[in-house]
Structure 1
Amino acid sequence: MEARKEMILRELMGSPSPLTGKHLANRLEVSTRTIREDIKLINEELENHGALIHSKRGIGYTLLIEKPTSFRSFLNEVTENAESQLTSPTTPDHRIYYIIRRFLLSDNYIKLDDLADDIHVSKSTLQVDIKEVKQRLDNYSLTLMSRPGYGMKLKGSELNQRFAMSEYLFDRERLSPELMWLEQLTPVVNLSQDELNRLWDLLLEQLRTHKITLSDIAINNLFVHIVIAYKRVREGHHIALVDEDIKSIKKKREYAVALNIMKVIEKALNVSFPKIEVIYIAIHLLGTKLVRDQLSTNETIETVMDDKIHSAILAMLSAVEEQLSLGIENDRELIIGLGLHLKPAINRHTFGMTVRNPMLEDIKNNYPLAFEAGIIAAMALDETFGVTIDENEVAYLALHIGAAIERKKATNKPKQCYIVCASGVGSAQLIKYRIEASFRSQINVLGTTEYYKINNIPFDETDFIISSVPIKEELPIPVIEVNATLEQKDLTKIEQYVSFEEKSITDYFPETHVFLKQNMSSREEVIDFLSAHAKSVDDLPDNYTELIYEREEIAPTAYGNRIAIPHPISPQTRKTFLTVCTLNKPIDWAGKKVQFVCLLNVEKNSQEDLQDMYNILGQIVNNEKLVHKLIDSTTYHAFIQTIIRMED
């Protein structure tokens, strides 16, 4: 089965509800007509295998499985065929991976005409793909060298080629880590599954012996790198490192561990590795977590953490607190977690290693506030250590920060309130008991008082006032006015305050800030348009637009699902507001298609809790049908009602 048809089948298998032709066309970047033709061909293949793709006008496509056993057999055949032959790629991203793999696996020149014929595209299309290939290879300090009459050939250090191989030779998204070496490494390195399983057991044994704690992903990466080393050494390729690097690595404990690992592998494979390969393994151990699982309760952070790393973490968290006011800078678990991650991250940076975070897109989409905090922390790390990390590392920082945010929520003290009532002590006590019954863990009533004693309230200890009488004086804390009988609408009003839902949907998306169905063709045009509007409603610095582009340089703000949420690199406005722009046609935004853009501006030095706003944005990002409805909206009323119905 061709790759595109397989993708259609996978989409339908993974969806609990029917999928429209438009949805599938957007996912595969083809026309709806192509989807119809592909589904017709898929049904011909499924005819004798117990399944059928059913189409219903106005509803979409549904995969109906009538004979599960027969269908599973069919899927096994599809998977085996996909692994046994290198299928011609059918999407732009697949072509990029295919081309990179071809160059990584070839020691010879490759002619562009031959490559174009292999993947069934024109030479002009291939030239565009090659440009993207060069950009990706540049991340590994690899280049494509051209020679007239011969073609192109990969050029770069052996070490960097191996790093690139570990990323591009294996489809890590489709296969689980446990199956990676069994189904993909076997044909590449010419080792049997039994031999690879034996190597895996030996590696785990060495890690246990030396008390090395690694994540599942890290162990898999290390294993893949070791097997690649075996393949490359057998082919006569060796690493070249400068003497200074070799001397510094040999002094580290990781070198001794790598030496032992290499000895058992040599014995198992009956091969002799050059001593330089031990350095190679040590580099990867330096890029993992060679630390104890936990910090004992009677040890201080400073006794087990490098002073420079500890200082860097404090600087990172200080920057996060300054810009986002999350209240997590003193979280001990967060400091320890960042410290354990930061040491290997810095080692990876030192030796030019890249790390792939399989959760990157999920983290960006589901934890936008934590990811934004990770970006701020990464900027502070660059300033403190001169270490620049990419999105994959930022996402790992975001995981630690996100956990701290959740811990903070769980330990939040109840809000302190005072009740003001003019009808006497009895009615005040009635309101108090109703509040305590309805908001047991959320509100603590400090006391009740009459209106004329309002100035006796300890404002520094009180978060807000619930009053059954109008209060005209300006007080230093919020006042929620309710009826003396405390009706359901009053309880709802109080709940909204406690839940940080003081703003309505229309406050976040006012009509003056929403621009629908715009005709713009580039990221730059959209950013310039939205930033110009922001400048018209707020007193902003002259370099405001440049600050947005500076943030884009660190990590593009396109979150997938046709959404981008650009913002300046640091808060610049007098108030927090969103500005939305939808486009008639999608534009390219750092490799992703975007048709819904939301410019986010956060108030300078704000103490406002923005989690509610981020939750709304997160729900939009993760709801593909909602995004399409918002893009299709032609009036503000339709736009805002779509979001309100999402909340309901």
Structure 2
Amino acid sequence: MIVEDERTFRLFQLLSTNPDQVKTARELSEQLNVSVRTVKNDMPKVKEIAEKSGVRIISKKREGYWAEIVNAEQFRPVEWQMHVYFNEVNALDENKKRAYEITRILISQQGYMTVDDIADLLHLSRSSIKTALKEMRGILREFQLELLSCPGKGLKVSGSELNLRFCILELFANHHVTAFSVSTYKPYCDYFTVGEMELGSVRRLLIESLHRHQIHILDNNIHRISRFVFVLLNRKKKGHTVEIDNKAAQDLKSMKEYGLACDFAAELRKRRPDVCLQESDILSLELLILMWNDLSDDDPIDQDYPLFAAPCEGLAAAILNAVRQEWGLEFPDRSRALRILKACLIPHYVQIHFNFIGYNLMIGQIVENNYGSSSPLSVALAMSAAQVIEDHSQHPVSEFFLLDMAVRFFVILNLIDYEYRPRRILLCSSAGYQSTAVLRRKLLHKFGPDAFARMDCAEFYEVRQIDQSQYDAVILNNSVLRFPYPIPHVCVDLTPSEKQLDQIESEIILDGYPLNALLKEIKFKPDFVFDEFHYLNRRDFIKVLSYRWARNPHQTENLRQSLMHYSDSCIYNETAVLILSQKYTGTAVFEIYRLERKGMWLSKEIKTILFLAVDFHHHPQRARFIEQLTYGLVSDQNQLESLIRTENLNDLAGVVKAVLK
């Protein structure tokens, strides 16, 4: 069955990625969350995989198991496949894995299939199959498909051919170009092979067409579209055709992506005369390209997408108004922010306009550390945007779109500049006045002239007589003659090393940014670290925060509902970050909860939770500060550990300073 195959492969991965390291059956069982007996029973299959992969698995009684690489060249491609699979696909619980595999089996059938037949095929009980059906119905709903049940006949997946194809594609799960199907059900796997046609050659043709038409798509989605070609060809072979009504077809043909899809189909026909895509196939390819188009604010949106430009601009304006009302955040360059959000909304509006499209689930898209999740404030703002979109369109926002929106907010937040006060520096050298010119040139070359308001040179004996209140720091090159100066000072070599230049940047240059002042304005309170916190589950933790910070029962419920919107998209490096508007708590909040042991949020493990409540009071620099603070804490675990250890609120400015470097 699928779970056993994946588990066996995982066992092989645990042993082969650490060759010569002995692991006991108990250690392996704990890593896989299975029994010792299961590990021992799986080991013959692991040894079979190893033999085919240029690896020998050795076992010794009372010691354990270890791997020995016999043929490195033979093992290399298998090692890459393991890296791709175990790093690109979300961790799934057993019930969800079963639901996906049952869906693959049923969607590959022409007619009905009984529960008993599915149970026999997967070596599972009827009750296990029935338990997975609820999860399966949820998967199908995301593609506007339904599960039909007929007494005496069994189960069948029903819906439009287009959405069936989309679902088949997404169930492949791992969309890396070198990935293999996680399913062992041959009729499903056959959808992704067409004679001797190679995925790589289809992908190259698609990339060439994208270049010619100057259209951009994320790499992972290029792999998806390439595999979709195999799906549509195999569905055609079985006699299934896509139906798109005349109005939708006319709208699709009016957009430039139609030209790209036609060009790609023509190139494919040149290389493979036996491959002929019909008009409906070309239009379905265009729909995928439209949904995954990586548009920027530089693209001529009004010209290229006249159907969507006006409603997307109106929706982008509504989002910015909601962010201002909810967070007290007004972006300095509102017109640029509007264009960035407008570009992001076009692919989403494609699904709203062509409401027959069901593609709201992207199984393999969200890797363990998605870049959108690395900016927690951007995720929080994207969640506010998602609420506006759903209220406006009555159309659900997918997790993929939420994280894409988070990336756009990250770009907008990084357009906010801090006010910088150029530094006033006094230089002196024990080698004489003239030698300070070398130091001065080095500093100007490294940091640029805009970093300095003035840079004066003096002899050592003059320094103490100068009014040092006119300077921000002293830089000298003789530690022996260093005096207790009343302003910051750094001692360097006559030609400063990179390490010394880094020290100047940290202790002098970056102090030109008002980080400490911003921290004081936000007014976080001390005593913010809760170490060894007893965490049960997401729901109970949210309940704790709600009772802790809400001021009345009504606010308690509002705070709880707002926090319940946080899914696994708020997690990066096993750290969940929850950011809310200060209106829910009545005061600024910054708290760190270090769990006594790792717990689960939804389907991802966490070991730390950060909770913030903020209001930017129409000061965008505060938003930039919070974005960089939370980004720094989730991206650099050393910074987070140091903050937990010191429990010093003033160290937050140091975290932002490290990000600025």
What TM-score, normalized by structure 2, do the two folds share? 0.66
- Residue 614 of structure 2: aligned partner: 602
Structure 2 CA distance for partners of 1:621 and 1:261, relative to 1, 3 Å: same
Say whether the 8 Å CA contact 2:58–2:68 is kept in structure 1: yes
Identify which range, 611-620 or 270-279, moves more after superposition: 270-279
Q: How does 1:206-245 map to 2 (within 5 A)?
A: 212-242=215-245, 244-245=247-248
Which sections of structure 1, spanning at least 5 residues, go unmatched? Answer: 83-88, 178-182, 420-429, 458-463, 468-480, 631-635
Structure 2 CA distance for partners of 1:278 and 1:168, relative to 1, 3 Å: same
User: Is the aligned partner of 1:191 residue 2:191?
Assistant: no
Q: In the TM superposition, what is the alpha-carbon distance from 1:148 to its structure 2 partner?
A: 2.2
Say whether the 8 Å CA contact 1:580–1:596 is kept in structure 2: yes
Residues 481-531 of structure 1 deviation map (CA, whole Å, 9 limit, x = unaligned): 98357478x987767855777579xx98965652635263x4322211122
User: Is the aligned partner of 1:390 residue 2:395?
Assistant: no
User: Is the aligned partner of 1:358 residue 2:365?
Assistant: yes
Say whether the 8 Å CA contact 2:472–2:488 is kept in structure 1: no
Q: How does 1:88-237 map to 2 (within 5 A)?
A: 91-169=94-172, 171-173=174-176, 175=178, 187-188=190-191, 191-194=194-197, 212-237=215-240
- Residue 549 of structure 2: aligned partner: 534
Q: Distance in 2 between matches of 1:515 and 1:138?
A: 42
User: Is the aligned partner of 1:613 residue 2:629?
Assistant: yes
Say whether the 8 Å CA contact 1:28–1:91 is kept in structure 2: no
**SS of 1:129's equivalent?**
helix
Say whether the 8 Å CA contact 2:328–2:616 is kept in structure 1: no
User: Is the aligned partner of 1:280 residue 2:292?
Assistant: no
Q: Distance in 1 between matches of 2:486 and 2:199?
A: 73
Structure 2 CA distance for partners of 1:151 and 1:336, relative to 1, 3 Å: same
Q: Distance in 2 between matches of 1:92 and 1:377?
A: 32
Structure 2 CA distance for partners of 1:601 and 1:27, relative to 1, 3 Å: farther
**SS of 1:415's equivalent?**
coil
Structure 2 CA distance for partners of 1:192 and 1:43, relative to 1, 3 Å: closer
Say whether the 8 Å CA contact 2:113–2:154 is kept in structure 1: yes
Structure 2 CA distance for partners of 1:562 and 1:23, relative to 1, 3 Å: farther
User: Is the aligned partner of 1:402 residue 2:410?
Assistant: yes
What amino acid does structure 1 have at the position aligned with 2:160?
S
- Residue 421 of structure 2: aligned partner: 415
Say whether the 8 Å CA contact 2:114–2:154 is kept in structure 1: yes
Q: In the TM superposition, what is the alpha-carbon distance from 1:365 to its structure 2 partner?
A: 4.2
Say whether the 8 Å CA contact 1:547–1:570 is kept in structure 2: no
Q: Distance in 2 between matches of 1:541 and 1:499?
A: 41
- Residue 532 of structure 2: aligned partner: 516
Residues 193-216 of structure 1 deviation map (CA, whole Å, 9 limit, x = unaligned): 347677666656665665655444
- Residue 593 of structure 2: aligned partner: 580
Say whether the 8 Å CA contact 1:578–1:601 is kept in structure 2: no
**SS of 1:228's equivalent?**
helix
Q: In the TM superposition, what is the alpha-carbon distance from 1:150 to its structure 2 partner?
A: 2.5
Say whether the 8 Å CA contact 1:328–1:405 is kept in structure 2: no
Structure 2 CA distance for partners of 1:516 and 1:203, relative to 1, 3 Å: closer
Q: Distance in 2 between matches of 1:597 and 1:400?
A: 24
Q: Distance in 2 between matches of 1:591 and 1:484?
A: 51
What TM-score, normalized by structure 1, do the two folds share? 0.67
**SS of 1:125's equivalent?**
helix
Q: Distance in 2 between matches of 1:403 and 1:16?
A: 43
Say whether the 8 Å CA contact 1:65–1:71 is kept in structure 2: yes
**SS of 2:571's equivalent?**
strand
Structure 2 CA distance for partners of 1:612 and 1:272, relative to 1, 3 Å: closer
Q: Distance in 2 between matches of 1:188 and 1:204?
A: 22
Structure 2 CA distance for partners of 1:171 and 1:516, relative to 1, 3 Å: same
Q: In the TM superposition, what is the alpha-carbon distance from 1:343 to its structure 2 partner?
A: 1.8
Tell me: higher relative CO, structure 1 or 2? Use CA pairs within 8 A at least 6 residues apart: 2
Q: Distance in 2 between matches of 1:397 and 1:291?
A: 12
Structure 2 CA distance for partners of 1:617 and 1:210, relative to 1, 3 Å: closer
Say whether the 8 Å CA contact 1:416–1:445 is kept in structure 2: yes
Q: Distance in 2 between matches of 1:46 and 1:617?
A: 40
Q: Distance in 2 between matches of 1:580 and 1:326?
A: 31
What amino acid does structure 2 have at the position aligned with 1:576?
V
- Residue 571 of structure 2: aligned partner: 559
Q: Distance in 2 between matches of 1:74 and 1:271?
A: 31
Q: In the TM superposition, what is the alpha-carbon distance from 1:120 to its structure 2 partner?
A: 3.2
Q: Distance in 2 between matches of 1:500 and 1:36?
A: 61
Q: In the TM superposition, what is the alpha-carbon distance from 1:154 to its structure 2 partner?
A: 0.8
What amino acid does structure 2 have at the position aligned with 1:399?
V
Structure 2 CA distance for partners of 1:131 and 1:365, relative to 1, 3 Å: same
Q: Distance in 1 between matches of 2:292 and 2:532?
A: 47
Q: In the TM superposition, what is the alpha-carbon distance from 1:131 to its structure 2 partner?
A: 1.9
Structure 2 CA distance for partners of 1:109 and 1:400, relative to 1, 3 Å: same
**SS of 1:97's equivalent?**
helix
State the identity %: 20
Q: Distance in 1 between matches of 2:422 and 2:16?
A: 51
- Residue 85 of structure 1: aligned partner: none
Residues 246-282 of structure 1 deviation map (CA, whole Å, 9 limit, x = unaligned): 4544555555665666567678554776654454344
Q: In the TM superposition, what is the alpha-carbon distance from 1:164 to its structure 2 partner?
A: 0.6
Structure 2 CA distance for partners of 1:218 and 1:637, relative to 1, 3 Å: closer
Q: In the TM superposition, what is the alpha-carbon distance from 1:191 to its structure 2 partner?
A: 1.9
What amino acid does structure 2 have at the position aligned with 1:618?
V
Q: How does 1:286-325 map to 2 (within 5 A)?
A: 286-289=290-293, 306-317=309-320, 319-320=322-323, 323=327, 325=329
Q: In the TM superposition, what is the alpha-carbon distance from 1:101 to its structure 2 partner?
A: 1.0
Q: In the TM superposition, what is the alpha-carbon distance from 1:615 to its structure 2 partner?
A: 3.3
**SS of 2:554's equivalent?**
coil
Say whether the 8 Å CA contact 1:328–1:404 is kept in structure 2: no
Say whether the 8 Å CA contact 2:225–2:288 is kept in structure 1: yes
Q: Distance in 1 between matches of 2:314 and 2:143?
A: 30
Structure 2 CA distance for partners of 1:557 and 1:17, relative to 1, 3 Å: farther
Residues 525-551 of structure 1 deviation map (CA, whole Å, 9 limit, x = unaligned): 22111221223xxx5783344344345
What amino acid does structure 2 have at the position aligned with 1:128?
T
Q: Distance in 2 between matches of 1:15 and 1:639?
A: 37
Residues paired across the two proteins, number: 581
Residues 48-92 of structure 1 deviation map (CA, whole Å, 9 limit, x = unaligned): 976567999xxx99866465235448769x99xx9xxxxxx9954
Structure 2 CA distance for partners of 1:230 and 1:530, relative to 1, 3 Å: same
Structure 2 CA distance for partners of 1:242 and 1:495, relative to 1, 3 Å: same
